[in-house]
Structure 1
Amino acid sequence: MFGKDDLVDNLSRDLDRARARRDALASEATTLTAQIAEIEARLSEEKNRRERDRVLAEIEAIKTRIMQAAGAFAPVVDGLSKAIAQASAVVPEARELKSFLVSVATEIDTVLDPLLRELDQRADAVRTGHAVLDLPSSASEAPIEPPKEAGDRLLRFPAWLSRDKETEKREAAESPRSTAA
């Protein structure tokens, strides 16, 4: 009978140890679950911060490209206006091109400032966390540089703007191309 009591006592102690170990493991599992949730929250916050930073950098890059392009456009418009003014002494119809050019430049000036303000507002919304825009990365695009000198870049107008179709056909017929290499 003494052996049977020892067996019951041993099994009771083993059961108590197993329960204690189970409770300890359950406590550790709860602690680990809380740590995992905290790390996941920090990871998500860091990803969001990096995405906001990326979007803000993209918006700033867009603004910079717009301002560079506008800066490059202004001297071109000025040069074209002067050249067209000289051409209008010979070809009075050139005044129409000059007025068209001035209207295009005016329209661009009219919409450029509101566009830049809207980009600033979107950037502010991203900074405050009210919006996250999905912008593609444009790191590969080179900045726009204005021409160094007036003769550095030759502007070519489309055929419909430079001359009429019949004149083009006549010139093609008058100067046949050689096929000899």
Structure 2
Amino acid sequence: MFGKDDLVDNLSRDLDRARGRRDALASEATTLTAQIAEIEARLSEEKKRRERERVLSEIEMIKTRVKQAAGAFAPVVDGLSSAIESAAAVVPEARELNSFLVSVATEIDSVLDPLLRELDQRADAVRSGQAALDLPSSAVEAPPVELPKDTNERLLRFPAWLSRDKEPDKKETAESPRSTAA
């Protein structure tokens, strides 16, 4: 009879120890799960903070480029305006170009301050966490604008997309669409 009772007692103790280890492991698993969740939250917050800093830095670089470009544009416009006034003595139609140039400069001036204010507002929204952190990477890839070294010798050349010569090309392609039927 003693052999059977000893076996039951040993099995009961083994069972109690196994349950104790299981409970200890479950408690450790719960603790580790909580620690993992806390570390994940801190990691997520740090990633968001760094992304906000990146976006803010890019917005500041965009503002700097806009200001540099505006600073480079003003002397070019002034130089062109003076040159056009001189040319207007010989070619009266040059005054039209001068008035166009003045209207372009005025338009740029009128939208520049609101643009810079809007960039500041976007930066404030990013700082407060109210704005999405989507900023195309191509927005800051362009090199900074350099001021012209000698405005007297430099010619202002409009980009191809601004040229008036492109308009007839567009009309020709619109008037003669290609037909795929034979």
**What amino acid is aligned across from residue 154 of structure 1 in structure 2?**
L
When normalised by structure 1's length, the TM-score is 0.84
**Residues 128, 160 of structure 1: alpha-carbon distance in 2 compared, 3 angstrom cutoff:** closer
Per-residue deviation, 1:160: 4.6
Would you say how many aligned residue pairs link Structure 1 and Structure 2? Answer: 161
Q: Does 1:112 align with 2:108?
A: no
1:156 CA drift (Å): 3.2
Q: 2 CA distance for matches of 1:56 and 1:100?
A: 36
Q: CA deviation at 1:151?
A: 4.2
Q: Which runs of 5+ in 1 are unaligned?
A: 162-181
The answer for the alignment partner of 2:126 in structure 1 is 126
Displacement after TM superposition at 1:120 (Å): 0.2
Q: Which residue of 2 aligns with 1:150?
A: 151
Alpha-carbon displacement from aligned partner over 1:23-76 (angstroms, at most 9, x marks no partner): 000000000010001001001100110110011001101101100100110011
- State how far apart, in whole Å, the 2-side matches of 1:145 and 1:120 are: 23
Q: Distance in 2 between matches of 1:99 and 1:151?
A: 20
Cα gap change, 1:92 to 1:152, in 2 (>3 Å): closer
Could you say what the CA RMSD is over the residues aligned between the two structures, in angstroms?
1.6
Conservation of the 8 A alpha-carbon contact between 1:72 and 1:147:
yes
Unaligned runs of 5+ in 2: 166-182
Tell me the secondary structure at the aligned position of residue 156 of structure 1: coil
Partner of 1:179: none
Q: Which segments of structure 1 move beyond 6 Å, counting only runs of 4 or more?
A: none
**By how many angstroms is 1:150 displaced?**
1.7
Q: Is the 8 A contact 1:52 1:132 kept in 2?
A: no
